[in-house]
C-alpha cells in the first residue's frame, strides 16, 4: 500500500469517526455550551501532554494574538453546532453546517482579496437551495427552525474560522493552532460550565473523554499528520464523509430516518462543496488542517 493510499484511508477514517460527535451530543443531557467546554478542555490537555511526551516543545510556543482570538470563534462555532444538533435532526444540523466551504468561497475574496469565480456563485445558489429544502421539509417535526438557524450560525462561524486561519495563522503549525484555540475556548466557556454546577456521572464522563480526547485531540492530530501525503482536493472531498456518517449513525442509533427533501438538500450541499473543493485545490490545504471541523 502506498503512502498516499494509506494517508487517504486515514483521512477517511477520521472523517467517518467525526460522525460520532453528533451521537454523543445527543446522549449527553447537558447544555451545548457545557459540552463544548469539556470537549475543548480535554482536547487541550490531551494535545499538550502528547507534545510534552513527544518532546516537541517548539509546538507549545504561544502563537500570535490573532490565533488566540480564533479560540473565541471556535467556542462560538461548536456551541452553535452542538445546540443545532440538540434542536433539530442530526442530518439537517450536520448537512447545513457543511455548507461552510461554499461560504468560504464567497467570503474569502472580501477578506483575502481573491477573485470570486462564477462557479463559487453557482455553488452558493445550489447550497442555499439545499438548505431551503431541508428547512422546509418539516420531517415530522424533527427539522425545526431554531435548529436550522443555529446550524447556519455554525456554518458561518466555520467559514470565518477558515478565513481567519488562512489570514492570520497560515505560518503556524496546525497542531499548535488546535492546542491554543481549544485552550482559549475552554477558558472562555469555563464560567458557563462552572455556573451550571453539573454533576457528571460515569457515563457522561466517558462520553466527554471520547469526545474531547479521542475525537478532538487524537483524531485531529492524526488527521493533520495524514494531510502531508494527501492532495488538498482529495482531502476536501473525503471530508464530506463526515455528514454522511453522522446521518447514517443517527438513522441506525437514534431512529432518525431523513426524509426525501432532507436527502435531496444534503446532496445539493455536498455537491456544491465538492465543486468548490475541486476548483480550488490549493485553498483547501489549510481548510482541511484548520480545527473548525465538527
pLDDT at residue 292 is higher than 60? no
Instruction: Work out the pLDDT band at 280, boundaries 50, 70, 90.
Output: low
What is the value of pTM for the model shown?
A: 0.84
End-to-end CA separation in angstroms for the chain: 29
pLDDT at residue 84 is higher than 60? yes
pLDDT at residue 98 is higher than 90? no
Residue with cell string 481548510 = 287
pLDDT computed for residue 114 by the predictor: 56
Rounded CA-CA distance 282/284 in Å is 5
Q: Residues in the chain, how many?
A: 294
**Cβ distance 89 to 187 under 8 Å?**
no
Q: Running DSSP on this structure, what letter comes out for residue 169?
A: S
| Average pLDDT over every residue of 204-209 | 92
Instruction: Work out the pLDDT band at 285, boundaries 50, 70, 90.
Output: very low
Rounded CA-CA distance 284/170 in Å is 12
Rounded CA-CA distance 246/265 in Å is 15
Q: Which three cell numbers stand for residue 270?
A: 455536498
Q: Which of 59, 40, 72 is nearest to 215 (CA)?
A: 40
Maximum average pLDDT range among 156-160, 196-200, 226-230, 276-280: 156-160
Rounded CA-CA distance 17/98 in Å is 16
pLDDT computed for residue 44 by the predictor: 94
Measured CA distances, 159 to 46, 115, 222 (Å): 26, 17, 23
Measured CA distances, 39 to 46, 79, 92, 100, 162 (Å): 11, 11, 22, 21, 20
DSSP 3-state of 116: coil
**Cβ distance 68 to 180 under 8 Å?**
yes
**Cβ distance 161 to 50 under 8 Å?**
no
**Cβ distance 227 to 288 under 8 Å?**
yes
Q: Which three cell numbers stand for residue 213?
A: 480526547
Rounded CA-CA distance 84/34 in Å is 14
User: ∠ CA 242-247-251 to the nearest 5 degrees?
Assistant: 145
Measured CA distances, 134 to 79, 97, 141, 244, 263 (Å): 21, 12, 12, 15, 8
Q: Which of 269, 286, 289 is nearest to 11 (CA)?
A: 289
Amino acid at each position: 500500500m502506498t503512502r498516499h493510499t494509506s494517508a487517504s484511508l486515514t483521512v477517511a477514517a477520521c472523517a467517518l469517526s467525526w460522525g460520532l460527535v453528533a451521537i454523543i451530543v445527543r446522549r449527553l443531557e447537558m447544555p451545548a455550551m457545557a459540552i463544548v467546554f469539556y470537549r475543548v478542555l480535554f482536547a487541550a490537555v490531551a494535545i499538550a501532554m502528547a507534545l510534552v511526551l513527544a518532546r516537541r516543545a517548539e509546538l507549545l510556543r504561544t502563537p500570535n494574538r490573532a490565533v488566540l482570538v480564533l479560540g473565541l470563534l471556535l467556542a462560538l462555532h461548536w456551541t452553535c453546532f452542538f445546540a443545532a444538533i440538540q434542536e433539530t435532526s442530526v442530518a439537517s444540523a450536520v448537512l447545513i453546517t457543511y455548507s461552510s466551504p461554499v461560504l468560504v468561497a464567497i467570503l474569502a475574496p472580501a477578506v483575502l482579496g481573491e477573485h470570486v469565480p462564477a462557479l463559487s456563485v453557482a455553488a452558493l445558489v445550489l447550497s442555499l437551495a439545499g438548505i431551503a429544502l431541508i428547512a422546509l421539509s418539516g420531517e415530522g417535526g424533527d427539522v425545526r427552525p431554531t435548529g436550522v438557524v443555529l446550524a447556519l450560525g455554525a456554518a458561518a462561524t466555520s467559514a470565518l474560522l477558515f478565513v481567519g486561519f488562512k489570514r492570520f495563522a497560515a505560518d503556524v503549525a496546525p497542531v499548535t493552532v488546535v492546542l491554543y484555540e481549544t485552550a482559549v475556548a475552554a477558558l472562555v466557556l469555563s464560567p458557563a460550565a462552572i455556573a451550571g454546577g453539573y454533576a457528571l456521572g460515569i457515563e457522561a464522563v466517558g462520553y466527554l473523554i471520547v469526545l474531547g480526547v479521542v475525537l478532538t485531540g487524537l483524531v485531529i492530530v492524526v488527521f493533520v499528520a495524514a494531510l502531508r501525503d494527501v492532495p488538498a482536493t482529495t482531502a476536501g472531498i473525503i471530508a464530506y464523509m463526515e455528514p454522511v456518517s453522522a446521518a447514517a449513525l443517527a438513522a441506525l442509533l437514534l431512529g432518525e430516518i431523513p426524509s426525501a427533501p432532507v436527502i435531496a438538500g444534503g446532496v445539493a450541499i455536498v455537491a456544491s462543496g465538492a465543486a468548490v473543493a475541486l476548483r480550488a485545490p490549493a485553498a483547501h490545504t489549510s481548510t482541511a488542517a484548520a480545527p473548525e471541523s465538527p
